[in-house]
Structure 1
Amino acid sequence: MAKSQRNPAFPVTLPGLVGTFCQESSVGKTMQATLLADTFVLADHPFVAFQTDDKPRLQRMLGAAVTSLRPDPERLLTEPALLRTALTPLHSACSRIKATGTSVEFDTGAKDVEMVCDFFRDVELDQDLRDWGVPMIGFVPFQADPEAIEGAAMTWRALRKAIPCARLVLVENRFERGALGALKPSSPARRLYEAELQPLVADAPHLVMPAMLSEFWQPFEEAGMRFIKVMAMDVAEGAKHFNMEPGDFKLARGHVTRFFQAMSAELDRVIALPKGGR
């Protein structure tokens, strides 16, 4: 008898449902979602994007292309069911993936993972995805600190329970905390990872989001400037726009470009985009 796989084979050929999830804030969810969106644009792969985060950073990065599924707080006082029904556009978009060839991207706020997983179970999304023949990839970013590792473990369990057919991918964000492997074996984060998260992820892909000096990325992030726009900017235009010396802008643009190239290589391990774009 063939040995069953806990995590189906990679890379996964899109179109499909691609989401970022973690029950801890500031671990790189929106960064991951922006990288995915820019990867789709460069490959001319059509997609629609949704988010639930109460801090709509993805919407700021991508503009009007992102639909917020967060209900109006004032309406929630009288219509509490909006917590669930606000997510139905996501389900509807997934139902059209095969017919349109358009992927669905979903950026989930840290506080919303439990609610989103409840919604997935309520609408039986796992069975729907199987029936539609639509793959799902869930990216779970984390950093090398105990809170982020615990949040990633909780998220992994919740997604596995809600969407058993989903292919899950762990993303180690080295922006601020550095490499998990560089921690001492006795450190709280390393012990927690080995006890809680590592057994869960089993043979799932473990991607690395390389460190990048905040001085090089922060000006672009604060301006809501996505990766592909930074990489395409002329030196004189960029220096003027960000009030930098041309040499400083070239340094920053170079770091962003190398970061994007490194992440593109990582994403190639888990995502296969159809040739021919649209």
Structure 2
Amino acid sequence: MESLIKKLSQSHRDCPQCPSPKVVHTFFENVLGLLFPDYASELLKEEEQISEKIEELKHTLSRVLIRNKHLHDGDGAEIAYQFFKRLEKVYELLLQDVQAMFDGDPAAKSTTEIIRCYPGFYAVAAYRIAHLLHEMGVTLIPRMITEYAHSKTGVDIHPGAKIGERFCIDHGTGIVIGETTVIGDCVKIYQGVTLGALSVEKSDADKKRHPTIEDYVVIYAGATILGGDTIIGENSIIGGNVWITKSVPSNSKIYYQAKMYNPGSDETDTYIIKN
């Protein structure tokens, strides 16, 4: 027991100011509640209240970054200031995402339903907030935010991914979007889609390992698209359960065709590409 106590004591000394998951999660929830009152613990109906809340959250982020200089290369207070200065752009992107999800789902009765009920919205909101911090050179905290959303929604989006406007996730559960994925505008993704890497070698960590999805692409449930050189051309439709490791031209339709098994036959399952 004494040996364990010594090891744990050293571990705690080595991490004196690490931001706890609770602190980071609370910060994210408060930012989300600031942007969308549906998530707020209290409504801020006056502009002065909004200003005070922003200053409070700015102070919280500044304090965390100043105490954890190993998580960034800049000035903690300046990063916090710039984060909230650029938050309006995140808000505008999220409003577009909400509208895309509403337009793309006939079951949705209102944008309020999207915001309050759809895991895709929650996951994308976490991603966009985390991505802003990631762009500003902050490490670990963006991952803590997106992993928190992952645990609540089943949608795993790395904060390093680059995602364009009007991004629509339908259902969401089981979606994985890797760190170097690039997604264009007006892309729609269904549950179980993986945008992943062909290699998991550490030596490839700084390379583009994940696919590029161009504008106006729809990817149906269960599709797996792998590789940093793989590009899905604009206006393409990727059918359910396909496995793609090579680029697809623009305006393509990819779907899986299963054939009946006949003993002695050489026929196998095939993928069909239509332009």
TM-score between the two structures when normalised by the length of structure 1: 0.24
Say which structure, 1 or 2, has more relative contact order (CA 8 Å, 6+ apart).
1
Q: Which has the higher helix share?
A: 1
Structure of greater Rg = 2
